[in-house]
Amino acid sequence: MDVNIRGKNVGITDRFENYVESKTEKVAGLLPRAQAFEVKVSRQSDRSPKHGDLVEITLIGPGPVIRAESAGGDKYSAFDIAYGRVLERIRRLKDRKKDRRGRGRTSLADAASHDFEMVDVTPAPLEVLESVATGSVPVAGEDAGEEQYTPVVIRTKEFPAERLAVEDAVDQMELVGHDFFLFIEVESGRPSVVYRRKGWNYGVISLSEE
């Protein structure tokens, strides 16, 4: 496994490189086929103890990419926290794979045809799906006649669409540490999103043209 360390506005010392490389031995043991362990360290403008350095870790395949990041008073503490999150996501992935052994995968179409009784997911209400599909979600103050100040900031991101089964989408969501994951359900071809509930419970929302 290749180890790549980059610094932005911060120097990378031999001591830090040796520290990172010593930690990657456990990752290589958990994922022996992993190809690259990438670490990016950046110095933040706020030099308070809480927000000194930011460390971003990316673990590259084969398979899904695992990412984690953390801020800390220095690059060592920030790395330790991000590294712990990487290990936790690897363990969650392995636990889910063990739990799925001996069980067949259920497509979103089959689950919907049985009213989601066979899997632990909750379909969204019809009015929610219609609002999302048509973009008709009401906005407060829409008829005020003039633009009003709002503290709400909307950021947009665009990613290539991935065709996945629901359980594969859950794996991807866990590996990047998000609370939801947007994808194209492989059986139905519908835009769908899985999201985390409590414990090991997850939900799924899909869009329909009907």
Q: Which of 57, 99, 63 is nearest to 201 (CA)?
A: 99
**What is residue 144's predicted lDDT score, i.e. its pLDDT?**
45
Averaged pLDDT, 146-162: 68
How far apart are the C-alpha atoms of 205 and 210, rounded to whole Å?
15
First to last CA, the chain: 48
For the stretch 8-20, pLDDT in tens is 888 889 999 999 9
If you count them, how many residues does the chain have? 210
Integer Cα distance of 41 and 10 in angstroms: 7
Q: Is the dihedral of CA 199, 176, 33, 38 positive or negative?
A: negative
Reported CATH class of domain 2-100: alpha beta
* pLDDT over 70, % of the chain: 66
Residue type, position 184, single letter: I
What gap in Å lies between CA 12 and CA 195, rounded to an integer? Answer: 37
Q: How far apart are CA 132 and CA 180, in angstroms?
A: 16
The CATH number that domain 108-136+153-206 falls under is: 3.30.505.50
Encode pLDDT of 21-46 as tens digits: 988 888 888 888 888 999 999 987 65
pTM of the full structure = 0.51
Q: Whole-number mean pLDDT of the chain?
A: 75
Q: How far is CA 172 from the centre of its chain?
A: 6
* CB-CB contact of 64 with 175 (8 Å): yes
Q: Which residue type occupies 73?
A: G
User: Averaged over 97-109, what is the pLDDT?
Assistant: 58
Q: What pLDDT, in 10s, does the model give residues 37-79?
A: 999 999 876 555 555 788 999 988 777 788 888 888 888 988 9
Highest-scoring range by mean pLDDT, 12-26, 107-121, 143-157:
12-26
pLDDT at 102 over 70: no
- The domains of the chain are located at 2-100, 108-136+153-206
Q: % helix / strand / coil in the chain, to the nearest 5?
A: 35, 25, 40
Q: How far apart are CA 54 and CA 72, in angstroms?
A: 7
Q: Which two tokens stand for residue 9?
A: 């506005």
Handedness of CA 161, 167, 172, 173 (dihedral sign): positive
